[in-house]
Amino acid sequence: MENLWPYPRWIAHRGAGKLAPENTMSAFRLGAQYGYRMFECDAKLSSDGVLFLLHDATLQRTTNGHGTGGELSWSALSQLDAGAWHSRAYAGENLPTLEALARWCLANHFCLNVEIKPTPGTEAATGRAVAELLARLWPATAIAPLLTSFRPDALAAVQAAAPQFPRGLLIDTLQPGCLDLVQQLGCQALVCNHALWDAALVAQVHALGLRALSYTVNDEWAAQRLIDLGTDGIITDRVDLFSPAR
């Protein structure tokens, strides 16, 4: 394929998978201790326009807060405990901003995959905010962040605001026309539930000049199948099982 792909094959899911509280700085540091050099995170907007890391729309699974995360101000979000739910060792862990994670990745020469995870109804605004923040922070000499989303409107906003950043469409089911959508959005990658990949789909994606990435791969047999198929990236929780140097 003509386009150069600068990213490592192995990507640590939400920092360190399930070994630390997801989407916290402790998780990313732990993933780095296992040798990972690329990290996936989930970003959404606070009510006052600050990008912060949280997977769910609501707060209760991974913090001591309640309700919709995007409806709170950053001042309120920053006071939540995002670690005690996981284990006592991480009690008092804060929700990070996307800017804090981005600066950490740049300082350590790590690669970053930002999944744009908008609160419903804020797809375009969140995509645009992620693009504008990273465009401000990212030097041209560093490997650009890979921006992905299940929400086409978010990726379209990235395409408009910062077309220099590579994009990937996330899918959980193979819908008719999804490859057309990937091309319309100017994406460089299709990021699938790992079970969707077979030799024919990999060949089709590669023939379009796209990269084939998978989430969330936690079993040896599944990882080996994807490697044998010639896919390009594997997002995993099992930073303790898979060596990123393999």
pTM: 0.98
Which residues are the active-site residues? 13, 55
**Per-residue confidence of the chain (246 residues) as pLDDT tens digits?**
345 899 999 999 999 999 999 999 999 999 999 999 999 999 999 999 999 999 999 999 999 999 999 999 999 999 999 999 999 999 999 999 999 999 999 999 999 999 999 999 999 999 999 999 999 999 999 999 999 999 999 999 999 999 999 999 999 999 999 999 999 999 999 999 999 999 999 999 999 999 999 999 999 999 999 999 999 999 999 999 999 986
Q: How far apart are CA 184 and CA 222, in angstroms?
A: 30
| Nearest residue to 5 via CA among 208, 233, 174 | 233
Helix (H) or strand (E) holding 169: strand 167-171
C-alpha 71/C-alpha 53 separation (Å) is: 14
pLDDT at 88: 98
Give me the amino acid identity at 79: Q
206-213: which pairs have CB atoms within 8 A and are 24 or more residues apart? Answer: 206/1, 206/230, 208/179, 208/182, 208/183, 209/1, 209/2, 209/3, 210/182, 211/1, 211/5, 211/168, 213/11, 213/168, 213/189
- Specify the pairing of strand 146-149 against strand 111-116: parallel
Please tell me the predicted confidence (pLDDT) of residue 4: 84
C-alpha 80/C-alpha 196 separation (Å) is 37
* pLDDT attached to residue 3: 56
Measured CA distances, 58 to 36, 75, 108 (Å):
28, 17, 31
pLDDT of residue 1: 38
